Amino acid sequence: MRIGLVGGTGRMGEGLALRWCPKHDIVVGSRDASKAAAAAKEYREEALQHYGRIDGSMEGDENGRLVGYCDVVVLCIPYENMEGTLDGIAQGMRDGSIVICPIVPMSKGKDGFIYVPMHEHRDSAAMTVSRRLKNARVVAALHTISDVKLRRFTEPIESDVLVCADDKDALAVASELLREIRNLRPIYIGPISLAYQIESITPMLLNAARQNSIKNPSIRIA
């Protein structure tokens, strides 16, 4: 499978590239093609050092281009820059592409971390993505998995990952990719209209971490 990481030069992108490269072709995306190529080269070297060999390829490309030929696209970009990035990728997006959205619309208020859509009466990030990328099948996931844990790619992640999606086939493909991250368990919550529920867990987790000195918290549903 060819997986494109829009904004893949950042923290989540690095973790996902290193986790998925043993089995998949990874395209690291950026606004800048040369930055994308440099990151891809660095991730490939890091992966080879640990895995010995990887079956997939690791290339870099511009965000706007990779969405035209990848089967699965992950939006590894900050919420604040989401709208501009969606403008840049919407037109080139391949019909039926699976788009995984881990975007957490969060900011820091005076009392702690807050979920922005609730305060500003806006849609969830995944709902916005779904409206803007009309020919894509959006899956909301990965909001509660810290990049620190993802980038420690030699270690399992003992966590659940909550997932929302409207399309059953897209959900199945994304869930399988999530299960390939050792010990991660995808838990289906419902359609994209419920994505606000899973996006809003992250600011709560970060408040818990801050108030109780917990590092990189995640969740398990028992």
Ligand X SMILES: NC(=O)c1ccc[n+]([C@@H]2O[C@H](COP(=O)([O-])OP(=O)(O)OC[C@H]3O[C@@H](n4cnc5c(N)ncnc54)[C@H](OP(=O)(O)O)[C@@H]3O)[C@@H](O)[C@H]2O)c1
Alpha carbon distance, N-terminus to C-terminus of the chain: 32
Residue 112 binds ligand X (CB under 6 A): no
How many residues bind ligand X, per CB under 6 A? Answer: 25
Q: Kindly indicate which of the ranges 42-50, 72-80, 116-124, 133-141 contains the residues binding ligand X, using the contact rule CB under 6 A.
A: 72-80
List the beta strands (DSSP E) in the chain.
Answer: 2-6, 25-30, 58-62, 72-75, 98-101, 106-108, 113-115, 137-140, 160-165, 185-190
Pick from 55, 84, 109, 120: which binds ligand X (CB under 6 A)?
84
Q: Kindly indicate which of the ranges 26-34, 47-55, 158-166, 181-189 contains the residues binding ligand X, using the contact rule CB under 6 A.
A: 26-34
Contact in structure between 117 and 105 (CB atoms under 8 Å): yes
Nearer to ligand X, 55 or 103 (CB): 103
The sign one gets for the Cα dihedral 146, 149, 152, 154 is negative
Q: Kindly indicate which of the ranges 41-49, 76-84, 175-183, 187-195 contains the residues binding ligand X, using the contact rule CB under 6 A.
A: 76-84
Point out the residue whose Cβ comes nearest to ligand X.
10
Contact in structure between 60 and 28 (CB atoms under 8 Å): yes
Q: Kindly indicate which of the ranges 52-60, 65-73, 97-105, 183-191 contains the residues binding ligand X, using the contact rule CB under 6 A.
A: 97-105
| Shortest CB 183 distance to ligand X, Å | 17
Residues 6+ positions from 13 with CB-CB distance below 8 Å:
5, 7, 28, 29, 39, 74, 76
Residue 143 binds ligand X (CB under 6 A): yes
**82-89 and 125-132 helices, crossing angle to 10°:** 20
Pick from 20, 30, 97, 177: which binds ligand X (CB under 6 A)?
30
| Shortest CB 76 distance to ligand X, Å | 4
Pick from 141, 147, 157, 178: which binds ligand X (CB under 6 A)?
147
Q: Which ranges constitute the DSSP H helices of 21-153?
A: 33-51, 63-66, 82-89, 116-120, 125-132, 147-151
* Site for ligand X, rule CB under 6 A: 7, 9-13, 30-32, 35, 76-79, 81, 84-85, 102-104, 142-143, 145-147
